[in-house]
Amino acid sequence: MKEKSIFVKFSLLFLVQIILSTVVIVIFQQTFDLKPIIIIGHLFVICIVNFAFILFGVSLHTIRFFKNNKFIKYFVSLIYGIFILLISYAYLFAFLGKSLNSRIFTVQIVIGYLKHLNGLIHMYSIHPIFIYLGLLVFPLFIIISFLFSAQFIDKGFQVFKQFILNHNFNNPPLFIRIKMVVFLFLYGFASGVLLIKCSSISRKLFQIEEPIVSFFFKNSDPFQGQILANDNEDISLRKNYKKNIDFQKKNVIIIVVDALRSDHLSLYGYKRHTSPFLDSLYASGDLKKIKTSFSVASGSFPGVNSILRSKIWANMGFNNFSVQQLLKDQGYDINFLVSGDHTHFYGLKSFYGNDSDFNYYIDGSNTKKYIVADDRIIFEGLKNIKKYNKNPSFFYFHLNSAHSAGTKIDRYKMYRPANVYTINIENYTNRYDNGILQADDYVKKIFSDLRLKGYLQNSIVVITADHGEALGERGEFGHVKNVYTDQILIPILIYDTDKLQYKNLIYATSVDIAPTIIDRLGLPIPESWEGKSLLSDDNREFTFHQMGNNYAIINKKGKFLFKYIYDSKLMKEELYELNGDFYENNNLINSVDKKWITDFRKRLSEFRIKPF
C-alpha cells in the first residue's frame, strides 16, 4: 500500500509539471495570438523530454553504474532540477522575445545579452538585484529544492522500477534487464534525435514557434515553411553576369533603420520634430524622398532580404543574386555594420554572405563593448574601417534605435512618459519617437564618419527600413503581425549629390532599392530582380506584400492606390483606397465590381497559395 502511494505521488510529480506546462503554453498562445497547434506541439516536446528523463532515471536504478546509491539519488534529482530550470528559462525568453522582438529569443541571443550585463541593466532600467536573482538565486532555489526532494524522487524510481519488473518482465535475470534498459535508452535517444533532426517534425515545431525548440535549437528554416522558389534561384545568373564592365564606381551605402515608419518622420510631415538631420538634407536638395513606400513584409528577415535581393518573400530562396554579391564581383569591398545579432537571428548573416565575402563584419554577436541591439556597435565598427583608397566600397548599416528592443540613450528621451514596461499608445509612441530622434542623429554621425574617411564624397546613399511598426492600431503593438499600413510603411530616401532626375518619386516598395542602385551605377539590372529602377518611369501596376496568413496586393490605378488584403486563415477579404483611406478604415470589398475582386484573387498565385 505504501509503495502504491509513493508510485501515485511520483506520477503526480510529472503530471503536475505537464499541467503547468499546458497552462503556460495556453497563456503564451493566447497572449500572442498564435495558432492553437502550438499547444499540441509543446506538449509533444514536454512528453518526449519527460519520457527521456524517466528512461534515464530507471536506467541508473536498474543497472548500477555507481556503487554509491546516494550519488545516484542526488544525481538524478539534480538532472531533473536542471531540466525544470531550463524549461523555465525557455518560457521566460519566449515571452520576452515575443514582447520585445516579435520573435522568441534564442539561447545564442540571450548569451549575447548576458555578455554585457551593465548595458542590459541600463537599457531596461532593471535593478541589478533582479538580474542576480534571475541568474543566481532562482537557479539555486530550483536546484536545492530538487536536491531536498531527492529521497522522494529516488523512492519513486525504485517503486517504478519494481512496478515494471513485477508487471511486465516477471523479474528477469540481470542480462535481460540490461538489454531491456539499453533498448529503452536507445529508443529514447532515437526519439530525441528524431525530434531535433527530422526535418518535417523540427520544421513544424519552428513554424509554430514552440518555445523549447525555438529557444535551444538553431532554426534552419527562416522561410517559416513556405514553399521556396527553388526553380527561380539565381546561381547561374550570378555566374553569367558580365564582369569588367565600364560603370560609375560610386560607393554604395544602405542605411536600414529597423521598424521605421515614414509617417513618424518630420520629413514626411509628422507633427513632432523627429528627423532634423534628414530634414536638413532634404532642404539642401541632395535628398530625394519617395512619397509612399512599403516593405514587402512586416518582418526583418523578408524585409531586409527584399532590399538586398529585390524579391518578394514568396520568391526568395537560399541563393538569390544579391546587390552585395553583384558589387563584390565588380571589385567592391563589402562591409556590414549591424546593430542586433544577425548571426543568430534566423541566420541573417548567412544570407548576407560567407565570412570570406566580407572585408569587414560586425554585429551584436561579436561586439566587444555594447549590448546586442545598441547602435553604438556601428561606430565601434566604423573605427576599424580604413580611409577610402579609391577602391569602391559597399556599406550596409542596420540601426535598432526605433525598434522596441533597441538601446535608448537618455539624452534622446524628449517625449515622456516612455517607460519600457508600459504598453499603451501614449507611452509606446513616445518611446518610438525618441528612438527615431536617436536614429536620425546616428545617421548624421554615420554621414560625418564616412565623410571624414572619404567615402561619402563619391557615393549613393539609400536610407530606408525593413518594415513598419504598429503603435496601437487595431490593438496591436510591434510588427510581424499583419500587412496593414502601419506595419509595412517605410521611407525610401536617396542621397545623391549629382543633379540627376529620379522619375518615380511617387510610389515604390523595398524591392525597387537594389535595381535603382545598380541602374544609377550604369550596370545592367539582373533579370531575376523583381523591382524597378526609380530612375525610370516604368512603374509596376501591382505590388505584393505578405506576413504569415496575411497577403496584400496593391494596385496603382491612375491616381488611385487600391489595396486588397486576404487572410487565408479566416478566409477574409478587404479592399481599401489608400490615397483617401491610408490607414484602412473603410472596407470597400462589398461595394466594387466582383470581376475586379476576382482578378485580385487570381493574383494570389504570386504568393504560391491557391486562389479561391
Cell of 525: 539590372
Judge whether residue 327 has pLDDT over 60: yes
Give the torsion through C-alpha atoms of 22, 24, 29, 32, to 10 deg.
180
Radius of gyration of the chain (CA): 28
What pLDDT, in 10s, does the model give residues 566-593?
A: 999 889 999 999 999 999 999 999 998 8
Q: Report whether 274 contacts 433 (CB < 8 A).
A: yes
Find residue 470's DSSP bridge partners: 478
Per DSSP, 286 falls in state: -
CA gap 300, 465 in Å, rounded = 9
DSSP string across 41-93: HHHHHHHHHHHHHHHHHHHHHHS-S-S-HHHHHHHHHHHHHHHHHHHHHHHHH
Judge whether residue 180 has pLDDT over 60: no
Higher pLDDT, 67 or 514: 514
> Do 255-527 and 549-612 share a fold?
no
User: What mean pLDDT do residues 198-227 have?
Assistant: 73
CA gap 325, 352 in Å, rounded = 9
Judge whether residue 152 has pLDDT over 80: no
How many C-beta atoms surround the C-beta of residue 112 within 10 A? 23
Distances (CA, A) of 177 to 53, 104, 168: 18, 42, 11
Confidence class for position 109, pLDDT limits 50, 70, 90: confident
Higher pLDDT, 418 or 488: 488
Mean pLDDT, rounded, of the chain: 86
pLDDT value of position 40: 85
CA gap 12, 153 in Å, rounded = 11
Q: Does domain 549-612 have CATH number 3.40.630?
A: no
Judged by DSSP in three states, 257 sits in strand
In terms of Cβ atoms closer than 10 Å to its own Cβ (0-12, 13-18, 19+), residue 337 is buried
How many C-beta atoms surround the C-beta of residue 500 within 10 A? 11
Judged by DSSP in three states, 565 sits in strand
Distances (CA, A) of 337 to 30, 340, 395: 37, 10, 8
Total count of residues recorded for the chain = 612
CA gap 280, 287 in Å, rounded = 9
Judge whether residue 27 has pLDDT over 70: yes
User: What mean pLDDT do residues 530-536 have?
Assistant: 96
- H helices of 208-359, in order, are 211-216, 235-240, 276-284, 300-309, 323-329, 348-352
pLDDT value of position 97: 81
In terms of Cβ atoms closer than 10 Å to its own Cβ (0-12, 13-18, 19+), residue 417 is exposed
CA gap 399, 401 in Å, rounded = 6
User: What mean pLDDT do residues 133-144 have?
Assistant: 80
Q: Report whether 327 contacts 541 (CB < 8 A).
A: no
Domain ranges of the chain: 2-216, 255-527, 549-612
What's the CATH number for 255-527?
3.40.720.10
Cell of 84: 525544470
Find residue 562's DSSP bridge partners: 555, 577
Three-state secondary structure string covering 343-396: CCCCCHHHHHCCHHHCCEEECCCCCCCCCCCCCHHHHHHHCCCCCCCCCCEEEE
- CA–centroid distance for 316 within its chain: 16
